[in-house]
Amino acid sequence: MSDAASDKNTALMEKIVSLCKRRGFIFQSAEIYGGLNGCWDYGPLGAELKRNLKDYWWRKNVQEREDILGLDGSILTHQDVLKASGHVGGFSDPMCDCLLSKARLRADQIEPLSGTAFHYTGASHEESDWSVDRPFSVLIWGNQDENKARKTAKQYYAQFLSDKQIAPKKLELSGESSEELTETTKYNPDNGSLLTEPREFNLMFKTHMGASADDGDESAVAYLRPETAQSIFVQFKNVAETNRVKLPFGIAQIGKSFRNEINPRNYTFRSREFEQMEIEFFCRAEDGLALTDEWLERRLTFYEEIGIPREHLHVLDIPDGERAHYSQKTYDIEYEFPFGIQELEGVAYRGAYDLTKHKEHSGKPLDFFDDETKEKLIPHVVEPSAGCDRTILALICEAYDEETVTDEKGKEETRTVMRFSPRMAPVKVGVFPLLKNKPELVAKAREVQAMLTPHMNVFYDETAAIGRRYRRQDEVGTPFCVTIDFDTLGESGDELKDTVTLRHRDSMEQERISIAELRNFLLDAIA
RNA sequence: GCGGGUAUAGCUUAGUGGUAAAGCCCUAGCCUUCCAAGCUAGUUAUGUGGGUUCGAUUCCCACUACCCGCUCCA
């Protein structure tokens, strides 16, 4: 991305963030106390939008399917569940920092080096009577010169100089010694500088169960779940036994998960608390790969149905070596956010890994008896796992649009429109009396509002000029507005009596529609 | 976690070591017969905590949050 494009996208993102706050989609969590890093609250419109997304996902993936069942697991999670899944112990990456460049490296990905290490105890500068005492080491390897080690060490000690006028090369190193090392991972392969000791970064939130539990009581430890998937695996047996299921079948869940992200970024995209929409689709081993492809297509269709066109999505086929070790196939579905192409959902073929692990750790039989083949097996699983908040952010970014409109006097102005699909739009229809000081119009508008309210989210507004009310609805993405005018009351004759103006958000076009037809028209449009 | 930047009203911005300004928005009233009209009135702000000072929104320090670049994303 060029700098100019990057600036433009940053500006776009700022406008989106500003609109989200102004119109009540998303607020910073605990804003009046200075905010809570990586946490966000959905305001009234955001809550509606999110509910629409989750409801539609649930309808499509649970209610309209005979082969997928719903689950709503607890967020507090037994530590043994996460030991079995590998999250305790394995869910943290030991990291090292380069003492010279401050680069952060994953300890397990450092290339082992063999060479000569030069150790120092400190450095000084005679003329200014400055000195520093702290150990440092540099590794040189291959045919690198010893002087490279000294130069690197001087650069390291130079960061402690308060007077930046002194050049690193004028420093005197003290206590030089050397040793031969083989296959060491304590040095940065880029510059030979010593690294810090590996430090653990556990990404899970840990807590203690029981009011009297003290922090040292290991048996009282519980975690906030880092993904919704585990409760599905853990409840696999209960769901399967209580529901007369046969392979293939799925268990679906929508719920909150928590990860102590080192670095939350990009608005709500990487949050510490987030909601997932996951399916674990259990199947026979031989069907796994084909079902993974099938689910990928089905999920792409879903995104189109909620208003994210295929051409703004990217499918990443995760290559060998980059997938989790138990996965034979993983697709990432990515969206073109203004801040870059980022993942919305992963569709992963996880084999029998999860159920096998829980069977081992719990000692309970998690085998499934396949009536068709008359054999016991551990089902394989395909996991379409979508980020709910990420999808909301994608919907918002996709919907945001500015267009220039010219009024009757030829004056140009910018119209901000959220082009949500009617299905996802937080408010489905605005109902307005043309004028608020005419009681007949107001009464009729209230009637229309009352008729529609049981079926959809309706917004009634009688303040300000009609045009302003339309624009206000444009900015929150309301797809339709209806206006009750004097024709509705029959002033222009019976032909127009009980008809209203129906105004379309995207085209700004208006048409007459009878009140009798209104409900069904709108229900069809938002289905 | 590192480096850089930012923080004034709901939003966008101005300004000042001594009463904080404007536009938009919003609220109420009047008016108004279809795309941000007009008039009147009104609400709302210097992120948090220290320090310097007679006095700090302004200067200094720390913290917090957000943005950008690294890093990371099982």
Write down which residues 455-494 in A have CB closer than 7 A to strand B.
463-468, 470-472, 474-475, 483-487, 491
Tell which wins on pLDDT, A88 or A453.
Answer: A453
Q: Is the Cβ–Cβ distance between A199 and A93 less than 8 Å?
A: no
Q: Using 50, 70 and 90 to split pLDDT, how confident is the model at A90?
A: low
- Find and list the nucleotides of strand B having atoms within 7 Å of a protein beta carbon: 1-3, 10-12, 25-28, 30-37, 47-48, 64-74
Q: Which two tokens stand for residue A518?
A: 């209104």
Query: How far in angstroms lies nucleotide B65's C1' from the CA of residue A352?
Result: 43
Q: Using 50, 70 and 90 to split pLDDT, how confident is the model at A164?
A: low
pLDDT exceeds 60 at position A482? yes
Q: Is the Cβ–Cβ distance between A349 and A328 less than 8 Å?
A: yes
Average pLDDT of A234-262? 92
Q: DSSP assignment of A74-132, as one string?
A: -SEEEHHHHHHTTHHHHSB--EEEBTTT--EEEGGGPPPEEEEEEEEEEEEETTTTEEE
Element (H, E) at A347: strand A340-351
Query: How far in angstroms lies nucleotide B55's C1' from the CA of residue A173?
Result: 52
Write down which residues 129-188 in A have CB closer than 7 A to strand B.
none
Q: DSSP assignment of A32-49, as one string?
A: GGT--TT-EEE-HHHHHH
Query: How far in angstroms lies nucleotide B50's C1' from the CA of residue A496?
Result: 71
Question: pTM for this structure?
Answer: 0.87
pLDDT exceeds 80 at position A496? yes
At A326-383, the pLDDT tens digits run: 899 999 999 999 988 999 999 999 999 999 999 999 999 999 998 888 999 999 999 9
Q: What is the pLDDT of residue A1?
A: 47
Q: Average per-residue pLDDT in chain A?
A: 88
Which value does ipTM take for this structure? 0.91
SS3 content of chain A, % helix, strand, coil (to 5): 30, 30, 35
At A289-337, the pLDDT tens digits run: 999 999 999 999 999 999 999 999 999 999 888 888 889 999 999 999 9
Write down which residues 219-238 in A have CB closer than 7 A to strand B.
226-227
At A400-424, the pLDDT tens digits run: 999 888 776 667 788 899 999 999 9
Three-state DSSP class for residue A274: strand
Q: What is the DSSP letter of A327?
A: -
Q: What is the pLDDT of residue A101?
A: 73
Q: What is the pLDDT of residue A408?
A: 66
The vertex-A361 CA angle with A200 and A355, nearest 5°, equals: 100
Closest CA to A344 of A417, A268, A282, A262: A268
Write down which residues 80-119 in A have CB closer than 7 A to strand B.
86-87, 90-91, 93, 95, 97, 102-106, 109
Q: What is the pLDDT of residue A266?
A: 87
A515-526 helix and A439-452 helix, angle to the nearest 10 degrees: 40
The CA-atom distances, in angstroms, between A212 and each of A208, A215, A216, A331 are 9, 10, 11, 45
pLDDT exceeds 60 at position A162? no
In chain A, the percentage of residues whose pLDDT exceeds 70 is 93
Which range is least confidently modeled, A52-61, A209-218, A289-298?
A: A209-218
| Residue A248: cis peptide before it, omega within 30 degrees of 0 | yes
Burial class (CB in 10 A: 0-12, 13-18, 19+), A513: middle
At A218-247, the pLDDT tens digits run: 888 899 999 999 999 999 999 999 998 999
Tell which wins on pLDDT, A143 or A484.
Answer: A484
Q: What is the pLDDT of residue A193?
A: 83
Q: Which two tokens stand for residue A98?
A: 């380069």
Q: What is the pLDDT of residue A450?
A: 96
The nt closest to A86 (CA vs C1′) is B74
- The reply to whether A66 Cβ lies less than 7 angstroms from strand B is no
Q: What is the pLDDT of residue A220?
A: 87
Average pLDDT of A276-297? 96
Average pLDDT of A481-508? 94
Rounded to whole angstroms, the Cα distance separating A337 from A389 reads 13
Q: Using 50, 70 and 90 to split pLDDT, how confident is the model at A3?
A: low
At A432-448, the pLDDT tens digits run: 999 999 999 999 999 99
